Amino acid sequence: MPTPAHPFDALMDITARPQTVFVRGEGSYLWDDTGKRYLDFIQGWAVNCLGHAPACVADAIAAQAKVLITPSPAYYNAAGLKLAKALVDHSCFDQVFFANSGAEANEGAIKLARKYGALHKDGAFEIITFEGGFHGRTLATMSASGKKAFEPLFEPKVAGFRKAKLNDLASVKQLINDNTVAVMLEPIQGEAGVWPATDQFLKELRALTQEHGLLLIFDEIQTGMGRTGVLFHYEHAEIAPDIMTLGKGIGGGVPLAVLLATGKASCFEHGDQGGTFNGNPLMCAVGLAVLEAVSAPSFLKAASEAGLYLESELQKLSARHGLGEVRGRGLLLALDLKLPIGASIVEQALEAGLLLNSPQPDALRFMPALNVTREEIAEMIEGLDSILTKAGAARRVA
Ligand SMILES: Cc1ncc(COP(=O)(O)O)c(C=O)c1O
């Protein structure tokens, strides 16, 4: 038996991974340890909004690492304060708490809502979330998620989450009771297969939560930071949530997440929330560089145009191969394959040097860098086209 070049067995086997080992990335491309190049339309799971190893991220890390990595969260640091102020200035929120992962930011949002309930709503603690929703892998965020596969895992779940149906206001209304303190959702359900809430539903949800004195929590970990063509997705619906969480894109590839709240909702008291690495200057310096790049109007305009181009190319591809709808917004799109062939397409794409994701057996999800070029989109479409042609031919023979 050949000795494997890499010690795979030293890692806990938590998911099926191909044996590819990546060693380098640049923009929309990755290289493995054999020198093979891959066009990346996964980008760290919608994380690398500026592509692989962008100079502004590398420079921010290098510069900050030379002066201060962390003074401890018991003290203020300049980079953290700057990023907090920049986020507040670019959004409808008044205060932020930094975290290290999306799940941790959501865990913070859940705690903040419960604190608000304890202070202002007679101890109300229930949060209405949505079937199909995904909020992370801590116990509370798994409990908040509406992912079917999570249901039998790690029982008992954290109590206090009731699931409504996306785009069905009556299903939300039905679940409101004296214990309800908040409604929490992803404006586009990413992991479920890219299912968008309509702007109308989001507007109605805002009105309903206001009518009942409930907090509205947007999980923008996947949709935020320009992913859907505006800095934050809530802007599309022209509403202002009370709480928002960011992750993925804000760090441009490094572990940084944020819990943002309006002055009314920002009610933590000393001792309620914290964490050793939270708000460390190394990550915050990167967040600042990323926010500066992504929030530039010309950058958002180009990302939005790239999204429209990708969408129209996917629609043409779908028509050529008799596939289903293209859904999503900006550079978070899915193609309905109509058949459970997603895993096989992903495997063939990897072989062909193209990284694609299939969040559900019958769908492909596209989440390239926000600065992806038209040429790179065309290259991806060409690669996928030839895989679909082969798959179609195989079906006709079978
Ligand atoms: C909408 C949403 N919320 C939360 C998370 C969890 O983030 P993390 O994996 O950084 O904990 C994800 C990750 O995919 C996500 O897409």
CA gyration radius, the chain = 21
Question: Rounded CA gap, 366 and 359, in Å?
Answer: 10
Residue 275 CA to ligand 1 center (angstroms) comes to 19
Q: Tens digits of per-residue pLDDT, 9-39? A: 999 999 999 999 999 999 999 999 999 999 9
Residue 106 CA to ligand 1 center (angstroms) comes to 9
**Tokens standing for residue 181:** 């303190």
Q: Tens digits of per-residue pLDDT, 249-278? A: 999 999 999 999 999 999 999 999 999 999
80-102 mean pLDDT: 98
Residue 119 CA to ligand 1 center (angstroms) comes to 28
Residue 72 CA to ligand 1 center (angstroms) comes to 25
Give pLDDT, residue 6: 87
Q: Which atom of ligand 1 is found nearest the CA of 138?
A: 11
Please determine, for residue 395, whether its predicted confidence score (pLDDT) is greater than 90: no
Show the DSSP H helices in the chain as ranges: 43-46, 55-67, 78-90, 102-120, 139-144, 169-175, 199-211, 281-294, 297-321, 342-351, 374-397
pLDDT band at 165, cuts 50/70/90? very high
**Residue 319, Cβ neighbours under 10 Å: how many?**
9
Q: Which atom of ligand 1 is found nearest the CA of 255?
A: 10
Residue 348 CA to ligand 1 center (angstroms) comes to 27
Please determine, for residue 225, whether its predicted confidence score (pLDDT) is greater than 60: yes
Question: Rounded CA gap, 38 and 186, in Å?
Answer: 30
Closest protein CA for atom 3 of ligand 1? 135
Are the beta carbons of 144 and 186 closer than 8 angstroms? no
Give the chain's end-to-end CA distance (angstroms, integer): 36
**DSSP classification of residue 235:** G
Give pLDDT, residue 319: 97
Return the closest-CA partner of residue 253 out of 98, 85, 27: 27
Q: For the chain, give the percent of residues with pLDDT over 70.
A: 97
Residue 316 CA to ligand 1 center (angstroms) comes to 31
pTM of the complete model beyond 0.95:
yes
Q: Tens digits of per-residue pLDDT, 75-85? A: 999 999 999 99
Average pLDDT of the chain is 97
pLDDT band at 5, cuts 50/70/90? confident
Question: Rounded CA gap, 368 and 51, in Å?
Answer: 8
Contacts of 107 (CB under 8 A, 6+ apart): 99, 136, 138, 140, 141
Contacts of 206 (CB under 8 A, 6+ apart): 216, 237, 239, 240, 241
Q: Tens digits of per-residue pLDDT, 170-202? A: 999 999 999 999 999 999 999 999 999 999 999
Give pLDDT, residue 391: 83
Tokens 């890219």, residue located:
194
Amino acid type, 243: I
Return the closest-CA partner of residue 70 out of 98, 95, 112: 98
215-243 mean pLDDT: 98
Please determine, for residue 44, whether its predicted confidence score (pLDDT) is greater than 80: yes
Give pLDDT, residue 1: 43
Please determine, for residue 316, whether its predicted confidence score (pLDDT) is greater than 50: yes
Please determine, for residue 4, whether its predicted confidence score (pLDDT) is greater than 70: no
pLDDT band at 392, cuts 50/70/90? confident
**Tokens standing for residue 388:** 């679909």
Ligand 1 pocket residues where CB is under 6 Å: 45, 101-103, 106, 134-136, 186, 190-191, 219, 221-222, 247
The helix/strand count (H/E) of the chain reads as 11, 17
Q: For the chain, give the percent of residues with pLDDT over 90.
A: 96
Give pLDDT, residue 397: 66
Which residue(s) pair with 188 in the sheet? 196
Are the beta carbons of 30 and 23 closer than 8 angstroms? no
Give pLDDT, residue 383: 98
Q: Which atom of ligand 1 is found nearest the CA of 186?
A: 1
Residue 34 CA to ligand 1 center (angstroms) comes to 31
Q: Tens digits of per-residue pLDDT, 107-129? A: 999 999 999 999 999 999 999 99
Please determine, for residue 157, whether its predicted confidence score (pLDDT) is greater than 80: yes
Q: What's the sign of the alpha-carbon dihedral 237, 238, 240, 246?
A: positive
**Residue 309, Cβ neighbours under 10 Å: how many?**
16
For residue 254, which phi and psi values (nearest 5 degrees)?
A: -100, 155
Give pLDDT, residue 71: 97
pLDDT band at 3, cuts 50/70/90? low
Give pLDDT, residue 288: 98
For ligand 1, pick from 100, 110, 134 the residue to mutate: most ligand atoms within 8 Å of CB.
134
Give pLDDT, residue 168: 98
Question: Rounded CA gap, 357 and 41, in Å?
Answer: 8
Give pLDDT, residue 162: 98
For 40-108, the DSSP string reads ESSHHHHT-TT-BS-HHHHHHHHHHHHH-S---TTS--HHHHHHHHHHHHHSS-SEEEEESSHHHHHHH
**Tokens standing for residue 186:** 């992803």
Angle (CA) 307-311-315 rounded to 5° is: 170
Q: Which atom of ligand 1 is found nearest the CA of 133?
A: 1
Closest protein CA for atom 8 of ligand 1? 102
Residue 149 CA to ligand 1 center (angstroms) comes to 16
